[in-house]
Amino acid sequence: MAAGELFAEHGVEGTSVRAIAAKCNANIAAVNYHFGSKENLYLVVIRYVLEQTQCYRAAELMARKQEWEHDPHKCAEAIYRVVEEHIQQFFTGIHPRWHGRIFMRVLLQPTPAIWEIMEELTMPNLESLRTLIQCCRPGMNDAEAELWVDSLMGQLIHYIFAEDFLLIVPGRRKLSDNAYQKDILRHVTRIMIRGLELPMPTFLEEEVPHA
Amino acid sequence: MAAGELFAEHGVEGTSVRAIAAKCNANIAAVNYHFGSKENLYLVVIRYVLEQTQCYRAAELMARKQEWEHDPHKCAEAIYRVVEEHIQQFFTGIHPRWHGRIFMRVLLQPTPAIWEIMEELTMPNLESLRTLIQCCRPGMNDAEAELWVDSLMGQLIHYIFAEDFLLIVPGRRKLSDNAYQKDILRHVTRIMIRGLELPMPTFLEEEVPHA
DNA sequence: GTCTATAGGGTGATAGAC
DNA sequence: GTCTATCACCCTATAGAC
């Protein structure tokens, strides 16, 4: 959907149905015919993006937690795999850049209609992340686990959110840079593992970012 | 400025000069007389907010770094004080909630004009943070230090950015909750200190969030 | 400096022919 | 389903009286 690209970059208010129609060589009236209204089209785009970028790995890991929850080394690996999935979903070329940016707009300004979609598509992942972290540190209460989820998501989201700003800073690498993605993955995972006082996997042992 | 509140909540595109004028019982023409255009008013608001919420503590600490840089315990305390300042500036009631939200909009969608302001008012703080972290871990290169700054800022910004979303999650505390602010401060600081492998200050020793 | 009035243009949505 | 034409509205910005 070409609409998403415009919504992502200029917001709902900053995008006109006319611009959307022009971008995909369609008719203004046709857009309204298919989607009812601009507002509704926005919701359709959001649902599409959230479906595309859903993360399942935390839920998968929780489904077979008995295989790893008692081994701190495997807990650390679980963290790694979860961070890896999120970076794949948002940073790599799997999805166009505007997917992430739509997500950011949604987080910044959620309407009740938007929240229904998030409750269905986003919340389960956050819930899984929370319980996964609780598995890594048995006895951790919900409030503290939420802080850990916030820390993880915050670090990752920041790169999408502030991408345009960071790009203007001289000497910074682009988010599409493969080596940069790997550095972020390694860095964030290490912070989480060290913070949760889990054993550091050998493949994450000290190795400084290149540039 | 009442304009900022509207810009913060609905974005530039979603805010009309009429609404601004109405909110402060002024005339539509008067607004344009004083600020030239809506776009310019937006820039004035941004500059005002960034000036108000500037953080100086990192720069202050760097100015007298010889007092602490060789003592890991004092390094850890420096980290704490920097995080504390940022939380004070953005979470507590010192500034109205819309200050933070304007900041988020600016990060999400920086124009060249906006960036000039950020270069002047925001970049110095990020630079100071980077060098401060490098002081804590001598020999750390710029790329890695940037990752650390990103992690710190990402964790903090996330709470402002996704505030509305997080509020809808059942059982979550409000960001204005004083105990919550303290939990976040303690949590983020601990992550940074543990991640940088500095000694944990006694006042941050284990203590679980309440709720 | 502040107001009214208005210009000049863009907006979302729809009616009705094809 | 797709198009043209059009409605009714809201927008920014300004000219000109006070």
Interatomic distance B42 CA / D16 C1' (Å): 27
Is residue B43 in a domain?
Answer: yes
Low-confidence ranges of chain B (pLDDT < 50): none
B71: left (phi over 0), alpha (psi -120 to 50) or beta: beta
Report the residue of A155, A167, A205 to disrupt the B interface, i.e. the one with the largest count of B CBs within 10 Å. Answer: A155
Range of the domain at B149: 54-205
Q: Do A144 and B10 touch (CB under 8 A)?
A: no
Q: Tell me: do B14 and B59 sit in the same domain.
A: no
pLDDT in tens, chain A (211 residues): 789 999 999 999 999 999 999 999 999 999 999 999 999 999 999 999 999 999 999 999 999 999 999 999 999 999 999 999 999 999 999 999 999 999 999 999 999 999 999 999 999 999 999 999 999 999 999 999 999 999 999 999 999 999 999 999 999 999 999 999 999 999 999 999 999 999 999 999 876 666 5
Predicted local distance difference test score (pLDDT) of residue A2: 86
Tens of pLDDT, residue by residue over B32-86, are 999 999 999 999 999 999 999 999 999 999 999 999 999 999 999 999 999 999 9
Alpha-carbon distance B30 to nearest alpha carbon in chain A (angstroms): 25
Give the nearest chain B residue to A158 (CA atoms).
Answer: B154
Q: Which two tokens stand for residue B88?
A: 């004070």
Domain final position from B10, B32, B52: B52
Predicted local distance difference test score (pLDDT) of residue A1: 77
The number of distinct structural domains making up chain A is 2
Q: Do B154 and A157 touch (CB under 8 A)?
A: yes
Q: Tell me: do A179 and A86 sit in the same domain.
A: yes
Predicted local distance difference test score (pLDDT) of residue B2: 86
Q: Tell me: do B149 and B195 sit in the same domain.
A: yes
Q: Tell me: do B79 and B126 sit in the same domain.
A: yes
Q: Tell me: do A47 and A58 sit in the same domain.
A: no
The mean pLDDT of chain B is 96
CB B150 within 8 A of CB A159: yes
Q: Tell me: do B21 and B114 sit in the same domain.
A: no
Q: Tell me: do A44 and A79 sit in the same domain.
A: no
Predicted local distance difference test score (pLDDT) of residue B44: 98
Q: Which two tokens stand for residue B73?
A: 């315990």
pTM of the predicted structure, to 2 decimals: 0.96
Give the nearest chain B residue to A110 (CA atoms).
Answer: B165
Alpha-carbon distance A190 to nearest alpha carbon in chain B (angstroms): 8
Q: Tell me: do B41 and B70 sit in the same domain.
A: no
Is residue B210 in a domain?
Answer: no
